[in-house]
A = this chain, B = another copy of it.
């Protein structure tokens, strides 16, 4: 509810995956929880810079938390990494798709998007699909 208990919860989440709950990591996860779409390393690093956190530290923390299974590191086809917290119970599989606007770079999480049965069969002949990405132009950019 309040900021104090939020931070408690954030520290717990970080420790639960075997990492130390440092100020930089708490600030990172708090940022990502406030965000409505995945944030780039640059965006996260810029925010944490105001707290005196180095960008190498910011990036290492994002990668480490992703490796630990707390975050998802998404590559959306614009040569930037983006990070979002994994929903409770969302594993490496059943990751939700994203939409990236190639004009403005905005990202939308798409919970319900799926392939047709035929498409799923066709793609499974090639390999095991773990991620679906849509690209195009968002409504603001039409």
Contact = CB atoms under 8 A, between A and B. Distances in A.
A129 B134 contact: yes
A118 to B, nearest CB: 7
B126 A99 contact: yes
Counted per complex, copies of this chain come to 2
Q: Give the interface size class of chain A.
A: 35 or more
A136 B94 CA distance: 12
Contacts of A8: none
A133 B100 CA distance: 11
A126 B112 contact: no
Interface of A: 75-79, 99, 101-102, 108, 110, 112-116, 118-119, 122-123, 126-139, 141-142
